[in-house]
Amino acid sequence: MKQDSLPSVSLIIATYNWPEALELCLLSAMRQVHPPTEIVIADDGSKEATKNLLLAYAEKSSVPIRHIWQPDEGFRLATIRNKAIAGVTGDYIIQIDGDLVLHPCFIKDHLRAARAGHFIGGSRVILDRKLTQKILEHRQLQVSLLQKGVRNRLNGLRSPAISRMIGSLVKEKGLYNIRGCNISFWKKDFIAINGYNEWISGWGREDTEMIIRLYNKGFKRVYFKLQGVVYHLYHQENDRSNLAKNDEILNAALTKRLDWCEKGINQYLSQEDKA
Exposed, middle or buried: residue 237 (CB in 10 Å: 0-12, 13-18, 19+)?
A: exposed
What are the structural domains of the chain? 7-274 (3.90.550.10)
Burial call 14-43: b when 16+ CB within 10 Å, e when fewer: bbbebbebbbbbbebbbebebbbbbbbbbb
Q: What is the pLDDT of residue 240?
A: 86
Q: What is the pLDDT of residue 15?
A: 98
Q: What is the pLDDT of residue 264?
A: 97
Q: What is the pLDDT of residue 2?
A: 53
pTM: 0.94
Q: What is the pLDDT of residue 271?
A: 75
Q: What is the pLDDT of residue 168?
A: 82
pLDDT digits (tens, 9 = 90+) for 123-146: 999 999 999 999 999 999 999 999
Q: What is the pLDDT of residue 171?
A: 74
Where residue 168 falls (left for φ over 0; alpha for ψ -120 to 50; beta otherwise) is alpha
Q: What is the pLDDT of residue 134?
A: 95
Q: What is the pLDDT of residue 3?
A: 55
Residues of the chain scoring pLDDT < 70: 1-4, 172-176, 275
Q: What is the pLDDT of residue 176?
A: 61
The rounded distance, in Å, linking the Cα atoms of 164 and 146 is 26
